[in-house]
């Protein structure tokens, strides 16, 4: 690999982890807006609720679509954002960096209370699910702005391009899928151990937090979101999604790994361009790239030369993603029922405080590992509600409770009272259940979907 590229990657990803940080957390919660009649979500109603809540809380319009409609607004004091994610079917609340999850949860409850009061008056509701329950009826169009039209075109290329293992048929999945993300500061000296250790938690997170169900098309699957990413154009290069095939052991190995993740978009003259994904180490060796951009209702092609600033558009979608902010972004969590919206986030934060202890716990574990299956393989099985016969449920339940207890200890050391968010997680561990599993049980028992929507929307 070109040494200049290595230095660029080091500066972008590793240098920020060398700086002194004040240990704040960044939280993003996406939620589907559901039409309670069972029909397509009405985008006019979504925008009206957005505008009402933005005005009520003093948010300032920040971004507009090509028809002059606001799709992102910011609160100047907190840095909180209201935005629509990819589509007007999905609302995202992103919080400015905070020290305490308690403060974030308080604002979240206030925001959702106002939003849902407005939405419910028009027979709509924000709910805590990773897939819109009426996803088959959802409008498929993305927000008409450069970034999202680029993404829409890129995902639709699944009909033209080839990929090992093929593509799923839901190339509009970003219009109905929702997730929860949390970014946590990481120091260079702890980076490798953090990635290695917290990768081992991914199967447990599937067991406890799976909540993306497409029962009509993918029956029995509890966390379909992993496959939506992996078998889309994002997964053409498997290094861009999921877990590390083999965890890097050193910073140099991590840089080597990042060098062969792929870039798929750039910007020229105000136009967002997408193209077949190219490993970043190879991208800068190309004389020209042929990309596509959206204009006047269609996608046009153009050639352009790679520039070093394009590295800012290198973006992967891994379960644990090292960012240019000196943080690890944890991306594998489905949106949770809103009354438990911060359970998975708190679980992740607490464990990040206990990396050595967690590593030691897993090193002596025989309940989950040392049976011939990797973390990635186990997560995939659990996502599909499959339980390997090599695992003992009682021992696994005890291991999970020990992991939750470590998270609780980590949260207590932070001193904000955030351990309160783990109460429901202990209950899930006892039952080896998740919101998706509970939903399937309710559906099998004949509970109407709208009752579940209201249940998962309750604060």
Q: What is the pLDDT of residue 22?
A: 81
Of 252, 215, 197, 172, the closest CA to residue 439 belongs to 215
Query: 186 with 195: CB under 8 angstroms?
Result: no
CA dist 174 and 440 (Å) reads: 23
160-213 tens-digit pLDDT: 999 989 999 999 999 999 999 999 999 999 999 999 999 999 999 999 999 999
Backbone phi, then psi, for 320, in 5-degree steps? -125, 110
Q: What is the CATH number of the domain that holds 116?
A: 3.30.590.20
What is the residue whose two structure tokens read 């407005």?
Answer: 118
- 435: in domain: yes
CA angle, corner 369, sides to 321 and 240, nearest 5?
20
SS3 106: helix
Q: What's the mean per-residue pLDDT of the chain?
A: 96
- 280: in domain: no
Query: 124 with 34: CB under 8 angstroms?
Result: yes
Give the residue-averaged pLDDT of 315-327: 95
Query: 367 with 392: CB under 8 angstroms?
Result: yes
Q: What is the pLDDT of residue 142?
A: 97
pLDDT at 2 over 90: no
Q: What is the pLDDT of residue 123?
A: 98
Helices (H), 353-417: 355-363, 375-383, 393-414
Pairing relationship of beta strands 241-242 and 317-318 according to DSSP bridges: parallel
pLDDT at 263 over 80: yes
- 242: in domain: yes
- 109: in domain: yes
Write down the pTM of the prediction: 0.96
Q: Which two tokens stand for residue 47?
A: 């925008």
CA dist 230 and 59 (Å) reads: 35
SS3 212: strand
Domain that holds residue 222: 20-145+154-256+322-457
Q: Which two tokens stand for residue 288?
A: 């020209």
Q: Categorize the per-residue pLDDT at 23 as very low, low, confident or very high, splitting at 50, 70 and 90.
A: confident
- 261: in domain: no
- Please write down the HEC assignment for all residues of 294-310: EECCEEEEEEECCCHHH
SS3 163: coil
Of 346, 320, 344, the closest CA to residue 333 belongs to 344
- 353: in domain: yes
**What is the DSSP track for 250-277?**
SHHHHHHHHHTSEEEEEEETTEEEEEEE
CA dist 324 and 12 (Å) reads: 5
CA angle, corner 226, sides to 222 and 229, nearest 5?
140
- 428: in domain: yes
Number of domains in the chain: 1
76-117 tens-digit pLDDT: 999 999 999 999 999 999 999 999 999 999 999 999 999 999
Q: How many angstroms from the chain centroid is the CA of residue 157?
A: 22
- 273: in domain: no
DSSP state of 338: G
The CA R_g of the chain, rounded to the nearest whole Å, is 21
Q: What is the pLDDT of residue 21?
A: 81
CA distances from 203 to 6, 102, 208, 332, 349 (A): 32, 27, 9, 10, 17
CA dist 13 and 8 (Å) reads: 9
Q: Is 34 exposed, middle or buried (0-12, 13-18, 19+ CB in 10 A)?
A: buried
């Amino acid at each position: 690999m070109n040494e200049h590229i290595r230095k660029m990657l080091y500066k972008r990803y590793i240098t920020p982890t060398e700086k002194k940080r004040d240990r704040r957390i960044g939280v993003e919660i996406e939620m589907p807006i559901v039409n309670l009649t069972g029909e397509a979500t009405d985008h006019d109603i979504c925008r009206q609720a957005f505008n009402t809540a933005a005005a009520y809380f003093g948010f300032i319009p920040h971004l507009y679509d090509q028809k002059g409609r606001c799709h992102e607004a910011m609160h100047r004091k907190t840095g909180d954002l209201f935005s629509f994610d990819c589509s007007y079917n999905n609302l995202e609340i992103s919080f400015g960096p905070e020290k305490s999850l308690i403060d974030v949860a308080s604002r979240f409850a206030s925001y959702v209370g106002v939003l849902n009061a407005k939405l419910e008056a028009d027979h709509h509701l924000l709910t805590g699910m990773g897939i819109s329950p009426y996803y088959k009826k959802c409008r498929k169009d993305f927000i008409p702005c450069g970034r999202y039209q680029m993404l829409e075109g890129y995902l639709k290329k699944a009909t033209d391009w080839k990929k090992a293992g093929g593509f799923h048929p839901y190339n509009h999945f970003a219009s109905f899928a929702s997730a929860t993300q949390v970014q946590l500061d990481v120091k260079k000296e702890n980076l490798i151990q953090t990635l290695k250790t917290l990768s081992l938690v991914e199967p447990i997170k599937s067991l406890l937090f799976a909540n993306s169900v497409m029962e009509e098309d993918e029956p029995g699957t509890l966390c379909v979101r992993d496959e939506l990413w992996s078998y889309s154009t994002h997964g053409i290069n498997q290094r861009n999604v999921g877990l590390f095939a083999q965890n890097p052991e050193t910073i140099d190995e991590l840089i080597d790994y990042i060098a062969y993740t792929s870039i798929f978009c750039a910007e020229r003259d105000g136009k967002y361009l997408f193209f077949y994904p190219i490993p970043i180490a190879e991208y800068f060796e190309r004389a020209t790239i042929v990309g596509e951009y959206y204009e006047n209702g269609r996608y046009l092609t153009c050639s352009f030369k790679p520039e070093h600033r394009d590295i800012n558009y290198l973006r992967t979608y891994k379960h644990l993603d090292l960012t240019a902010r000196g943080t690890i972004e944890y991306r594998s969590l489905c949106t949770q029922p809103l009354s438990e919206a911060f359970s998975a986030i708190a679980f992740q934060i607490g464990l990040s405080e206990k990396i050595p202890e967690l590593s030691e716990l897993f090193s002596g574990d025989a309940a989950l590992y040392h049976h011939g299956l990797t973390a990635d393989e186990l997560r995939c099985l659990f996502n599909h509600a499959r339980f390997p016969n090599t695992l003992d449920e009682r021992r696994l339940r005890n291991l999970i409770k020990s992991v939750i207890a470590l998270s609780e200890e980590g949260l207590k050391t932070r001193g904000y009272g955030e351990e309160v968010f783990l109460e429901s997680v202990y209950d899930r561990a006892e039952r080896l259940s998740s919101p998706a599993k509970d939903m399937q049980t309710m559906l099998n028992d004949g509970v109407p979907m709208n009752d579940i929507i209201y249940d998962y929307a309750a604060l």
